[in-house]
Amino acid sequence: MTIPLPFNMEILKWANETRKILLHAKVPPKVKFYNIYGINLETPHSVCYGSEDAPVTDLSELRFLQAKYVCIDGDGTVPTESAKADGLNAEARVGVPGEHRGILCDHHVFRILKHWLKAGDPDPYYNPINDYVILPTAFEIETHKKKGLEVTSLKEEWEIVSEVQDDISCGKPLESSIFISHSGYNQSSPAEAHATVTIRPQNEGKQHVELNAVSVSVDA
């Protein structure tokens, strides 16, 4: 009885020939190429039989040995770095969390394809790279002068629509501020600006983002 080993030299020869063909493959000038690949799953990258202390000396022993796998990010079958290395002039490459065959039924993939194919009504706020839809909901800017100072206030709000759950815990909003001061030439025209960004917890797939900013400068 003959038990086939994992190493088949004929298959290796075919694989090498295929690799040579792919290395020289080009997309026709009028054809647009897009690459969608799965991510966020442990994927075998290399395999090891035996060890430094107990190396394999006979290939027939492989059928009795336990393989040790080194895994990296991918779709469970194809590593991400391999999926991205198509060597073609791609219009876009997008990684979608999912399994090798499962992403074919993923609604994110359909949404991305619809965007690329321009099927249906266009969605100018959709970004297939991160699968977000950013909808501006408010924009206010006001400037007034008083006692030699010019004060400008800005308020802008967005709704971020995404199926990905946010990392905000305890239902509390995240807030970050920045303050900038400029003394001006010879201290003659100082200016200050303060901005605050607030990110509300996600609710029903939507996340509210607010930007409030104010600047004060000497009225020239």
Per-residue pLDDT reduced to its tens digit, 14-65 = 989 998 888 888 889 899 999 999 998 999 999 888 888 888 888 778 778 8
- How far apart are alpha carbons 65 and 63 in whole angstroms? 6
- How far apart are alpha carbons 194 and 209 in whole angstroms? 17
pTM: 0.54
Residue 117 pLDDT level (bands cut at 50, 70, 90): confident
Considering only CA atoms, which of 92, 82, 184 is closest in space to residue 131? 92
Listed by start position, the domains of the chain span 28-127, 132-218
Q: Where are the alpha helices (DSSP H) in the chain?
A: 9-23, 80-84, 107-117
- How far apart are alpha carbons 127 and 130 in whole angstroms? 6
What is the overall mean pLDDT for the chain? 83
Burial class (CB in 10 A: 0-12, 13-18, 19+), 187: exposed
Written as six digits, the tokens of 213 are 């900013």
pLDDT of residue 183: 74
Q: Residue 123: which residues within 8 A CB-CB, separation 6 or more?
A: 115, 133
Whether 200 contacts 208, CB under 8 Å: yes
